[in-house]
């Protein structure tokens, strides 16, 4: 009884104690590949679904209500293809052409411009590597990230570099087979060269998944054998991880709402699912 009472009091107090105090209006725009992307079928999507929230996947948002969060990440994208296929920015007849046939395609530059024009502090997260590693050495991705960061700054927004979410492929001895390391290192190097904020999702997700071990890690996979993509529970877990890393990098500046239970599990290596 007493315990129940304490629990209810705690739950009543939590939102008051930890609620985000409205400050600078802020918007988030996400750029990347399928490990970030907006999945619109059940058990699909990258960490962006857990971060922004998704009605398709019934995932709650990590952000205060009415915070714009636009996920432009694209399945299969590299830093090169994202620009070449027009997802980054396109003008003139191509723009109309794309809109005519795929009216919902979120174009990155247009979304950034809209948020900046509305007077919002606009954070643009950039996470690539999973597909870049299949076609070119890390330096190629790094050169492209540099162009992206500079263009985002020109638009009046703040680029935030994010290292690749780990794959959940394990060696028999319980360590993760990490082929993405050099691409994560390149992302860190560019963030240092250009002075951007860095979200080291690669390292944090490796630490967490190593503590979880293969079985609990694979429960976050889209299908048990798909060590790259996430199911709904995976998007919730890694969306929260990104939210907490962002809050650590911009302490109390962002409209991130707490999820103390999930944060506790993630910082202590406990499986939530």
Ligand X SMILES: *[C@@H]1O[C@H](CO)[C@@H](O)[C@H](O)[C@H]1NC(C)=O
Residues of the shown chain interacting with ligand X in the complex, contacts defined by CB under 6 A = 18, 38, 40, 43, 52, 69-71, 78-80, 89-91, 104, 109, 132, 135-136, 140-141, 144, 171, 173, 175, 219, 231-233, 244, 247, 251-252, 256, 258, 261-262, 265, 270-273
Closer residue to ligand X (CB): 7 or 40 = 40
What are phi and psi for residue 187, nearest 5 degrees? -60, -40
Closer residue to ligand X (CB): 50 or 196 = 50
Closer residue to ligand X (CB): 71 or 191 = 71
Report the chain's C-alpha Rg in angstroms. 19
Work out how close the CB of 26 gets to ligand X at its nearest, in angstroms, rounded to a whole number.
13
Work out how close the CB of 196 gets to ligand X at its nearest, in angstroms, rounded to a whole number.
18
CA-to-CA distance for 101 and 90, rounded, in angstroms? Answer: 14
Q: In the chain, what is the straight-line distance between the N-terminal and C-terminal CA atoms, in Å?
A: 28
Work out how close the CB of 111 gets to ligand X at its nearest, in angstroms, rounded to a whole number.
9
Work out how close the CB of 42 gets to ligand X at its nearest, in angstroms, rounded to a whole number.
8
Closer residue to ligand X (CB): 166 or 232 = 232
What H or E segment, with its residue span, contains residue 125? strand 121-127
Cβ-Cβ contacts under 8 Å for 199 (sequence gap 6 or more): 125, 160, 161, 162, 163, 242, 245, 246, 249
């Amino acid at each position: 009884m007493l315990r129940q009472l304490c629990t209810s009091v705690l739950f009543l107090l939590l939102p008051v104690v930890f609620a985000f105090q409205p400050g600078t209006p802020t918007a988030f725009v996400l750029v990347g590949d399928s490990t970030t992307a907006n999945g619109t079928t059940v058990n699909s999507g990258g960490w962006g679904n857990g971060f922004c929230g998704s009605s398709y996947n019934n995932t709650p948002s990590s952000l205060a209500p009415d915070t714009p969060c636009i996920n432009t990440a694209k399945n299969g994208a590299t830093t090169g293809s994202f620009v070449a296929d027009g997802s980054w920015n396109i003008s003139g007849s191509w723009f109309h052409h794309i809109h005519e046939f795929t009216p919902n395609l979120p174009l990155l530059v247009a979304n950034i411009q809209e948020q900046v024009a509305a007077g919002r502090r606009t954070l643009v997260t950039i996470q690539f590597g999973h597909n870049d590693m299949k076609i070119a050495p890390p330096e190629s991705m790094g050169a492209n990230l540099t162009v992206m960061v500079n263009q985002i700054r020109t638009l009046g927004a703040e680029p935030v570099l994010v290292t690749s979410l780990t794959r959940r492929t394990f060696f028999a001895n319980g360590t993760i087979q990490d082929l993405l390391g050099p691409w994560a290192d390149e992302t860190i190097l560019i963030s240092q060269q250009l002075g951007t904020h860095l979200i080291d999702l690669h390292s944090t997700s490796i630490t967490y998944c190593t503590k979880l071990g293969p079985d609990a890690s694979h429960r976050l996979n889209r299908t048990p054998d798909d060590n790259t993509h996430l199911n709904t529970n995976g998007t919730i877990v890694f969306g929260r991880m990104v939210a907490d890393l962002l809050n650590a990098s911009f302490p109390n500046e962002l409209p991130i709402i707490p999820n103390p239970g999930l944060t506790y599990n993630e910082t202590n290596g406990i499986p939530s699912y």
